[in-house]
Amino acid sequence: MHPSAITSSGLRLRPLSDHVGAEVDGIDLSRPISDAQHHDLNHALAQYGVLVFRDQELPPAMHVDFSARFGPLVGHLVSRFSVEGFPQVTYISNVRNDKGEMIGADRAGMIWHSDMSYFRRPMLGSLLYGVECPPEGANTEFASMYAAYEALPPAERERLASLRGIHDYVWHYETYLTHRQPLTDAEKAKAPPVTHPAVRTHPVSRRRAVYLSEGLTRSIEGIDEAEGRSLVVEMSRFATQPQFVYSHAWRPGDLVFWDNRCTMHRATEFDNQHRRMMRRTTVEGDEPFID
């Protein structure tokens, strides 16, 4: 069992696994939060990597207000997936509109990744809200990249800390999202490959975390493409062993706020006859660094 902690602003934090995730009680996200609560949440996010808020009533406007306390919001590359009137809020859904088109990103993120790591300034965090959730499956699994880094033998930590991963959205889309309509040239042009350190220092906690993912890191800069790819896949699998993972089973009204700087995540399968409707915002972060 993991003991709860109470923050100075009165939030209760209950750890959800050995390395990642805490449930937060004592806050209503449909109302503005205080500076003291914001401070405590910012630190709790950096420490636990994932914050779970249950039983929240969170219309898109409030979802935007809460998210924007943590930084600038970034909409999805594919603008047709936005919630009407709220370009910063994206639907993650298997629901179709009356023209038969998908309203949101379908089967998104089924392979381990850190959100939008293919940008120069990747996302600090993402906030996903459950509106309609299938009765089983469709979990989101989170892995602590702090725990992965700390579990590596010292020589491997050092080697990894000298490398840079190549993060490539077009490669990702053409490899894993072949069920969707192809990207347009304009969409492709928005996301050329970028490199980031394979180990990054978290700007709030100052801890080091592995920053490579099977889903979005194509390979490693400066070494053979196939060899780099094997290293990425091997590291990603090492990092996502069950002891480093928390699996979130969704209920409507859950808001889950994860830190992309120190966790990876993926969605799990579910029976597609059930409706799934989630709304997501993403908060832009800083350029990854290691010191």
Phi-psi region of 149 (alpha: psi -120 to 50; beta: other; left: phi over 0): alpha
Span interacting with Fe ion, options 19-27, 91-99, 105-113, 226-234, rule CB under 5 A? 105-113
Query: Does the protein bind Fe ion through residue 106 (CB under 5 A)?
Result: no
Query: Does the protein bind Fe ion through residue 109 (CB under 5 A)?
Result: yes
Span interacting with Fe ion, options 55-63, 109-117, 140-148, 240-248, rule CB under 5 A? 109-117
- Residues between 3 and 62 that touch Fe ion (CB under 5 A): none
Query: Does the protein bind Fe ion through residue 115 (CB under 5 A)?
Result: yes
Distance CA 282, CA 73 (A): 6
Span interacting with Fe ion, options 110-118, 133-141, 151-159, 219-227, rule CB under 5 A? 110-118
Q: Which residue is nearest to Fe ion (CB)?
A: 109
- The CB-of-266 to Fe ion minimum distance in angstroms stands at 8
Span interacting with Fe ion, options 12-20, 81-89, 106-114, 175-183, rule CB under 5 A? 106-114
Residue closer to Fe ion by CB (options 109, 130) is 109
Residue closer to Fe ion by CB (options 38, 180) is 180
**Binding residues for Fe ion, how many (CB under 5 A)?**
2
Residue closer to Fe ion by CB (options 109, 228) is 109
For 274, list phi and psi in degrees, rounded to 5.
-90, 145
- The CB-of-90 to Fe ion minimum distance in angstroms stands at 10
Residue closer to Fe ion by CB (options 219, 282) is 282
Residue closer to Fe ion by CB (options 142, 149) is 142
- The CB-of-113 to Fe ion minimum distance in angstroms stands at 6
Two structure tokens written together for 138: 């469709």
Span interacting with Fe ion, options 23-31, 65-73, 83-91, 101-109, rule CB under 5 A? 101-109
Query: Does the protein bind Fe ion through residue 104 (CB under 5 A)?
Result: no
- The CB-of-41 to Fe ion minimum distance in angstroms stands at 20
Residues that bind Fe ion (CB under 5 A): 109, 115
